[in-house]
């Protein structure tokens, strides 16, 4: 099943999982699923992260001209994935979240103009990312995790100094249309 979110252009994609007595096999990226949604996705980079319980990463994005689409998936553990719309228009500043678990293989398509972050619900939660442009430190940006009203449901959040230093949503001037 391919599910649409409350933010335009965001899709939750169910992935194929093949199980037998040896274990399982998952196709974690299928360009065809994106083509069915008329999304042009040309992967430039792929990377992954590992996070302990209560680590919050985000809210990250790249500004034009190096903005990119993302496909993310939880490969191990459980995370709450959070998206914040930075595109000028009626959904600017709106957010939504998804529970991603390794045991329920799904991928999340995130279009350009959406800030992305997550909180790890278990130790050693692994996230894999596919993006359509290379990382460019001149375009790398973020919104402070606690500045837009989302309840992270974490009593002792662990946040990097970099993520603490991002501007609040109210102080950000969007370049996304």
Catalytic residues: 60, 129
Residue 7's contacts (CB-CB under 8 Å, 6 or more residues apart) are 83, 85, 91, 94, 95, 96, 114
Residue with tokens 């302990």: 52
Phi and psi based region of residue 98 (left: phi greater than 0; alpha: psi -120 to 50; beta: remaining) = beta
Residue 34's nearest CA partner among 60, 70, 66, 5 is: 70
- What's the rounded Cα separation, in Å, for the pair 104 and 169? 32
Nearest Cα to Cα of residue 43 among 31, 59, 27, 60 = 31
């Amino acid at each position: 099943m391919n599910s649409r979110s409350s933010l335009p252009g965001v899709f939750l994609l169910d992935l194929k999982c093949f199980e037998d007595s040896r274990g399982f096999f998952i196709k974690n990226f299928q360009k065809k699923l994106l083509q069915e949604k008329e999304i042009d996705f040309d992967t430039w980079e792929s990377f992954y992260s590992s996070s302990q319980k209560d680590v919050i990463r985000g809210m990250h994005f790249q500004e034009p001209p190096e903005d990119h689409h993302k496909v993310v998936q939880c490969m191990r553990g459980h995370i709450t994935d959070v998206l914040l719309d930075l595109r000028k228009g009626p959904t600017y500043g709106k957010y939504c979240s998804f529970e991603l678990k390794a045991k329920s293989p799904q991928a999340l398509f995130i279009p350009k103009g959406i800030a992305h972050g997550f909180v790890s619900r278990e130790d050693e939660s692994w996230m894999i990312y596919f993006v359509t442009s290379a990382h460019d430190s001149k375009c790398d940006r973020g919104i402070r995790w606690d500045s837009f009203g989302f309840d992270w449901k974490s009593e002792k959040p662990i946040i990097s100094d970099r993520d603490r230093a991002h501007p609040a949503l109210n102080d950000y001037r969007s370049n996304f249309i």
